[in-house]
Amino acid sequence: MTSAHKSHTHTRTFLLFFWSSTNERSSETDLECLTNAEVAIVLNKLKEAKKGQFDEHFEETLKGVKRFSGTLDPISNETHVRELREALEKESITVETIDGDFVQQRLTQKEIVALANLKPMDTEEAKCLIPTLKHLKEEELSRIISKIQD
């Protein structure tokens, strides 16, 4: 395996985002995930620290996460990216349990990342793109979507 291929593979591994094959919400296996905008910020800081010691795969990856970040120039708008994450992490939602009870929970990391990256325009689109949101109340989901549209 060439060093360029290793670098390319490493960069892609860094960017992998895993969405559970089930539609269940689970906080037990919830891993810390980064949005594309956050990845762009991290990669840009790495680039600045290493001063051009990266190959074309790194540059293409950086360009890709900037383009699909859902944020106009995430590197210049780092504060906005951080504020969006904080707002979504604080969001409290009502979820129905198997017993039919309702409990307050937070969005999972996967839901936060999917919402920030995909920026759905309405509740129908959000539920279509992120199946775990199907059980949310319309008012809650509308409130969340208004935060990501700001």
Question: Which range of residues forms the domain containing residue 98?
Answer: 3-149
53-77 tens-digit pLDDT: 778 888 898 899 988 887 888 888 9
Q: Name beta bridge partners: 102.
A: 96
User: How many angstroms separate the Cα of 89 from the Cα of each of 4, 50, 102, 147?
Assistant: 37, 32, 20, 12
* 93: helix, strand or coil: strand
3-39 tens-digit pLDDT: 444 444 444 434 444 444 344 555 445 568 999 999 9
Please compute the mean of the pLDDT values over residues 98-110 and round it to a whole number.
Answer: 90
Spatial separation of the C-alpha atoms in residues 50 and 39, rounded to whole Å: 16
Number of domains in the chain: 1
Average pLDDT over the chain reads 80
Residue 47 class from Cβ within 10 Å (0-12 exposed, 13-18 middle, 19+ buried)?
middle
Spatial separation of the C-alpha atoms in residues 34 and 43, rounded to whole Å: 12
Q: Which residues contact 81 (CB under 8 A, 6 or more apart)?
A: 35, 37, 38, 41, 69, 71, 74
Single pTM value for the model: 0.74
Closest CA to 57 of 89, 91, 9: 9
Tell me, what CATH number does 28's domain have? 1.20.1250.40
Contact yes or no for 132/108 (Cβ under 8 A)? yes
Identify the pLDDT of residue 109.
Answer: 93
